[in-house]
Amino acid sequence: MSAKSKNDALSGSLSLLVLKTLALGEMHGYAIASRIQQMSQELLRVEEGSLYPALHRMEQDGWISSHWGLTDSNRRARFYQLTKAGSKQLEQELESWQRITRGVAFVLESA
């Protein structure tokens, strides 16, 4: 799969992936992107140009909150964490994702 098709596939599920990643604990942006790449066994790569606007939007929606802190390497970074509203949104997005994947599976199995 080319990098472009990986990113196209990722765009519709970025919120779900970020919320699920933040359910593990607070992280800065680079750590979120790295964790998604690691958990997907290197199949998914989140670019900064997609991640930070998504984080900003999710914060405006109240799904995440943030604060400034220091990374392990002593660099200043914004750390993000899931809010109660974000946990609820994660549940809704997981249910939606499961319905969609079931539907796709039905179509593929019947074709």
The whole-model pTM stands at 0.85
Q: List the structure tokens of 1.
A: 């799969």
Instruction: Output the CATH code of domain 3-110.
Output: 1.10.10.10
The tens digit of pLDDT for each residue in 29-48 reads 999 999 999 999 999 999 99
Taking residues 75-103, what's their average pLDDT? 96
Q: Among residues 99, 86, 87, 76, which one has the least CA distance to residue 54?
A: 86
Question: Residue written as tokens 């593990």?
Answer: 24
Burial string for 66-99 (b: 16+ CB within 10 Å, else e) reads: beeeeeeeeeebebbebbeebeebbeebeeeeee
Q: CA 26 to CA 12: how far, in whole Å?
A: 23
Taking residues 23-27, what's their average pLDDT? 97
Residue spans per domain, the chain = 3-110
Is the pLDDT reported for residue 8 higher than 50?
no
Q: CA 63 to CA 4: how far, in whole Å?
A: 28
